[in-house]
Amino acid sequence: MLDIRLLREQPDAVKASLARAGVEPQLVDVVLGFDEQRRALLFEVEQLKALRNTTSKEISTLKDAAIRDAKIAEMRTVGDRIAILDKQVAEVEANQMAAILELRNLPHDSVPVGPDEEHNVVLQTIGTPRQFDFAPKPHWELGESLGIIDFERGVKISGSRFYVLKGMGSRLQRALIQWLLDLHGNQGYQEVYTPFVVKELSLWGARQLPKFRDNLYHDAEEDLWLVPTAEVPVTNLHRDEIFDASQLPIHYCAYTPCFRREKMSAGRDVRGIKRGHQFDKVEMYKFVHPDTSYAELEQLRLDAEESCRLLGIPYRTKILCTGDMGFASTKTYDIEVWAPGQNEWLEVSSCSNVESFQARATNIRFRAEAGAKTEFVHTLNGSGLGIPRTMIAIMENYQNPDGSITVPDVLRPYLGGIDTIQPYTRK
């Protein structure tokens, strides 16, 4: 959520910034129109309340019944007027809030301008794609022939976009989660385990609502929502809290499954485990001092890249253009890994600075020094990493001609020391 004062004081700068992201800027004027109405109403109603407060105190000291009754009668009409104005204020406020929540965050000046993903800029490509002396297979073929991914039974149990991992498939996923949490722990992120279902308020705080309502699973009976990313519970961890500056920065990592209805991408990426309704992810999240948030973003990106590097998978880093960035983000890096079997780059991480966008919506503040005015913290989030796509990259990059998969060195201790994934044999 944007700062209303920023809109009030620098409307043209805000509009220009939104225009860079391809957003029609009229909404700014709508918000400001409500703001003006609201403040005019507040001015009137607050004066009346001041009058009522002083007069009410006066009434309690009045001895003369006639004067007293006259004052009470007078205040009764004032009270009626206040009730009407209060109602109007609430209405205008709700309209203003609804309008300002529609506004996306302002892109940082360093972000390239462009309408869509075609205008994202590749910053670096690390690692050389392996040269195969056989035709590399896509992971769905490898997974089925090894018996570690079962698509048909996933669909039987839960429908399309669900799959079952078996044997070493399941273990590989578990190993990846644990290895990533350990790695990020060593990078200074404190591990947290959060609920996987949240109240609606938490989704507003992480700014998933109102925009992504159609992508969320909702339990109507309990009015709870399945998390689409760990970002949601972790953002809300410190809702309504005020930090001392000395407590910042706070770095967390969290594993959660993520649940997404994927209504927007119906029919896309239906093959394999690239885009399921349920997938696992390890997420990194930071609460930081505003002065450091862009330096923290660079480090966040390096920390995510580190996991790709250690896995020995070719990857590239992109900076997203203004039109392709997420709603809440001011600057986003995507990290993509190479998947030779399906011949494409797969997004495994998205690292964003959202500045105070979520902190304002969740009321997370800090005090620069004792007695100082509170300020909103900046928050950042980055995947580290999305598990299924990382599994795809491992399977496709490390595949052997016989269909087996070599286990990356760093994961071997997490898989009982084995070096190759072979078809299951009963013990």
Partner RNA sequence: GGAGAGAUGGCGGAGUGGUCGAUCGCGCUCGUCUUGAAAACGAGAGAACUAACGUUCCGAGGGUUCGAAUCCCUCUCUCUCCUCCA
CA distances from 212 to 65, 260, 263, 290 (A): 61, 10, 10, 27
Stretch of residues binding RNA (CB under 7 A), selected from 52-60, 142-150, 176-184, 320-328: 52-60
> Is 123 or 201 the residue whose CB approaches RNA more closely?
201
Closest of 317, 323, 351, 337 to residue 123, by C-alpha: 317
DSSP string, 76-123: HHHHHHHHHHHHHHHHHHHHHHHHHHTSPPPPPTTSPP-SSGGG-EEE
Task: Work out how close the CB of 248 gets to RNA at its nearest, in angstroms, rounded to a whole number.
Answer: 16
Closest of 14, 46, 47, 9 to residue 28, by C-alpha: 14
Stretch of residues binding RNA (CB under 7 A), selected from 13-21, 49-57, 158-166, 397-405: 49-57
> Is 76 or 156 the residue whose CB approaches RNA more closely?
76
Long-range contacts of 207-211 (CB under 8 A, 24+ apart): 207/1, 207/327, 207/328, 207/354, 207/357, 207/358, 207/361, 208/232, 210/101, 210/102, 211/327
For 222, residues 6+ apart whose C-beta sits below 8 A from its C-beta are: none
Task: Work out how close the CB of 33 gets to RNA at its nearest, in angstroms, rounded to a whole number.
Answer: 16
Stretch of residues binding RNA (CB under 7 A), selected from 71-79, 122-130, 137-145, 310-318: 71-79
Pick the binder of RNA from 26, 190, 374, 400 (CB under 7 A).
Answer: 374
Q: Under the criterion CB under 7 A, does residue 59 sit at the interface with RNA?
A: yes
Q: Under the criterion CB under 7 A, does residue 65 sit at the interface with RNA?
A: no
Binding to RNA in span 296-355, by CB under 7 A: none
Q: Under the criterion CB under 7 A, does residue 5 sit at the interface with RNA?
A: yes
Binding to RNA in span 395-424, by CB under 7 A: none
Q: Under the criterion CB under 7 A, does residue 90 sit at the interface with RNA?
A: yes
Q: Under the criterion CB under 7 A, does residue 63 sit at the interface with RNA?
A: no
Pick the binder of RNA from 184, 301, 365, 378 (CB under 7 A).
Answer: 365
Task: Work out how close the CB of 239 gets to RNA at its nearest, in angstroms, rounded to a whole number.
Answer: 13
> Is 76 or 153 the residue whose CB approaches RNA more closely?
76
> Is 56 or 292 the residue whose CB approaches RNA more closely?
56
Task: Work out how close the CB of 159 gets to RNA at its nearest, in angstroms, rounded to a whole number.
Answer: 27
Binding to RNA in span 109-138, by CB under 7 A: none
Q: What's CA 108's distance to the chain center, in Å?
A: 17
Task: Work out how close the CB of 182 gets to RNA at its nearest, in angstroms, rounded to a whole number.
Answer: 24
By the 10 Å C-beta count (0-12 exposed, 13-18 middle, 19+ buried), 401 is classed as exposed
> Is 372 or 418 the residue whose CB approaches RNA more closely?
372
Peptide bond into 129 cis (omega under 30): no
Backbone angles phi, psi at 380, to 5 degrees: -135, 150
Task: Work out how close the CB of 192 gets to RNA at its nearest, in angstroms, rounded to a whole number.
Answer: 18
Backbone angles phi, psi at 379, to 5 degrees: -125, 150
Q: What's CA 2's distance to the chain center, in Å?
A: 16
Cβ atoms of 387 and 179 closer than 8 Å: no
Stretch of residues binding RNA (CB under 7 A), selected from 131-139, 148-156, 277-285, 368-376: 368-376
Token pair recorded at residue 375: 């300020």
Q: Which residues contribute to the site for RNA (CB under 7 A)?
A: 5, 42-43, 46-47, 49-50, 52-57, 59-60, 72, 75-76, 78-79, 83, 90, 242, 365, 370-371, 373-374
